[in-house]
Structure 1
Amino acid sequence: MKQYKQFRSLIIADFEAAEWPHPPHKHNHYELIYTRQGTGTHYINGNAIPYVNGNIFLIGPDEEHYFEIDSPTQFVFIKFTDVYIHHASSGSSYGLRHLEYLIKSKETHLSAFQLNNADQHSADAIIQVILSLKQDTLSNEQLIWLQVLTLAALLQRNMPELKATLHRSRDMQALFCYLHKHIYTPYKLRSLVMASHFNTTPDYIGPYFKRNTGITLRNYIGNYRKSLIRQRMESGNYSLKQIAAEFGLTDESHVSKIMS
């Protein structure tokens, strides 16, 4: 299996192709892929997903993918690394939340985003702004990144709702997505609130999570929150006060206690 390696933090590429030029491959970075025009099929981890004009895909590291093109397709690729996510001066921790959630939710990697008409128009405009800045990516890197974060916010609100049903109330993927989405809102991570969302009881949801993951729900939430806080601290772009406010913590001492 071919694996592409990217060492630059952010790369923008746009091109038209009648035949897909790459073999099935993986890579060490993330890709937001926009099909400006054309039709075909995108294969992600063996899943065949038809695409049309205006579809957007998110691919993570080590995910195998390739395209089969039916009609000539204009592609826009926004390729970025973990280093950029956690060390760039993004200027928007709110936008970063949306991107982190999309990245953590594997459901988003196995389908094309279905945007409503208004958001599709906005996404088209954002992509056009990014393309207008690509000729000097180095100088415009922060401006491009802000557009990426705005696009992430649009994508998140167009995800299928993770509503509890009798079938999905016990679905681990939905549970992980819920945890990642609400990691910044401690109230929504209480067992009583989560149990209500997933149509079950507080006494059931914790043991169910432990049985399927080998780790307690409390420890998973703590470890995930800790990893996000560590990334904020290592970037040097956030004060302890800002981190506390972002994660709904009492004060800076609470942040220090979590990290100790």
Structure 2
Amino acid sequence: MLIKNLYLPFEIGIFETDTYTAKEHKNTYFEMFFILEGKGIQVINQHQLEYAPNKLFLIFPQDTHGFEVIEKTTFFFLRFNESYLKTQDREWLKKLEYIFYNHNHLPGCILKNTEDKPLIRALAEALTKEQKGQNLYKQEVMQQLINTIITIAARNIALLETANQYHPTQPLSVLGYVHQNIYFPNALRIEKLAEHFNLSPNYMSEYFKKQTGESFQHYINSYRMKLIETRLLHTNFRLNEIADEFGLTDVSHLNKLFKNHKGINPSEFRKFANVDRKANETKI
């Protein structure tokens, strides 16, 4: 299967066609498509769904995806890779946790808030206009607009997950609490979770395992390690910064937990990931 790479931190553009059928392929970068005009079918990981104007789609690295155009379609696309993420601050990256791990990687528009649809359209048009111009601070303005689009996407994915928040019988409300407090170990004790949902600790433990198939502690450890993998892959944060961010005692604590999870220490994981990325780039 074809693998596509992005050699710039970000790329935007408008693509219009009435006969295009994109073969399924994988990217090594994140990609968003906003449908300005047209109709067709989007395919992600062998799942299909129709698309129409004012729909925003999110493609993850390593997702297989393609489009089948039924009516003449105008796509706005935004692509960004790990080098772009490395330019962002930590608080902004935290907003992306919903994008990285709480999305279902299925086809379909990610905009739950309908008021965001004209906003995304306006931002796409502003980005396209800015790119064609030669105004002062062009790159800085484009970066702010791109970050706004990404943040709106993260907000909507958060809305998709938390639509059932505050309903004690819904598992997503429990997972939402875990995701929102992953950086605060004291808030992730089973007693704190039980207190938050007005349940006994024993019942909460049983309920969590029944809904997720995992013990409470195993889920927390797995989720934390996935986020740490993201830091290692997509940022230049030092190991002591990552350990501090997730409330771990020190780098030794981080090394121990990560090695138990992946079989190698964080430094080795980051090194091998960079080698694999360069190897993929040579194939294009």
Once the two structures are TM-superposed, the CA of residue 228 in structure 1 deviates from its matched residue by 5.7
- Aligned partner of 2:17 in structure 1 is 17
- Alpha carbons of structure 1 residues 116 and 255: separation in structure 2 relative to 1, 3 Å: same
Q: State the aligned residue count.
A: 245
- Aligned partner of 2:146 in structure 1 is 148
Q: Which moved more, 1:123-132 or 1:100-109?
A: 100-109
- Alpha carbons of structure 1 residues 47 and 21: separation in structure 2 relative to 1, 3 Å: closer
- Aligned partner of 2:116 in structure 1 is 119
CA contact (8 A) 2:82 2:233 kept: no
**Aligned residues with identical type, % of pairs:** 18
Gaps of 5+ in 2: 256-284
Once the two structures are TM-superposed, the CA of residue 57 in structure 1 deviates from its matched residue by 0.8
CA contact (8 A) 1:41 1:69 kept: yes
- Alpha carbons of structure 1 residues 127 and 188: separation in structure 2 relative to 1, 3 Å: farther
Alignment of 1:191 with 2:193, yes or no, is: no
- For 1:47-86, list aligned pairs within 5 A: 47-85=47-85
CA distance in 2, matches of 1:10, 1:216: 36
CA distance in 2, matches of 1:125, 1:208: 44
CA contact (8 A) 1:206 1:217 kept: no
Once the two structures are TM-superposed, the CA of residue 123 in structure 1 deviates from its matched residue by 1.6
CA contact (8 A) 2:30 2:58 kept: yes
Once the two structures are TM-superposed, the CA of residue 181 in structure 1 deviates from its matched residue by 4.6
Q: What TM-score, normalized to structure 1?
A: 0.72
CA distance in 1, matches of 2:230, 2:61: 18
Once the two structures are TM-superposed, the CA of residue 63 in structure 1 deviates from its matched residue by 0.8
- Alpha carbons of structure 1 residues 254 and 11: separation in structure 2 relative to 1, 3 Å: same
CA contact (8 A) 2:60 2:105 kept: no
- Alpha carbons of structure 1 residues 189 and 148: separation in structure 2 relative to 1, 3 Å: farther
CA distance in 1, matches of 2:185, 2:130: 38
- Alpha carbons of structure 1 residues 161 and 21: separation in structure 2 relative to 1, 3 Å: closer
Once the two structures are TM-superposed, the CA of residue 212 in structure 1 deviates from its matched residue by 4.6
The alignment yields a C-alpha RMSD, in angstroms, of 4.0
- For 1:86-235, list aligned pairs within 5 A: 87-88=86-87, 90=88, 92-107=89-104, 109-135=106-132, 140-158=138-156, 159-162=159-162, 163=164, 169=171, 179-184=178-183, 186=185, 189-192=188-191, 194=193, 201-204=203-206, 212=214, 216-224=218-226, 226-227=228-229, 234-235=236-237
Q: Which moved more, 1:49-58 or 1:174-183?
A: 174-183
The alignment partner of 2:32 has SS state of: strand
Counterpart amino acid of 1:152? I
The alignment partner of 2:53 has SS state of: coil
Once the two structures are TM-superposed, the CA of residue 50 in structure 1 deviates from its matched residue by 1.4
Q: Which moved more, 1:75-84 or 1:110-119?
A: 110-119
Gaps of 5+ in 1: none
- Aligned partner of 1:42 in structure 2 is 42
Counterpart amino acid of 1:55? K
Pair member with larger Rg: 2
CA contact (8 A) 2:11 2:79 kept: yes
CA distance in 2, matches of 1:124, 1:193: 42
CA contact (8 A) 1:33 1:56 kept: yes
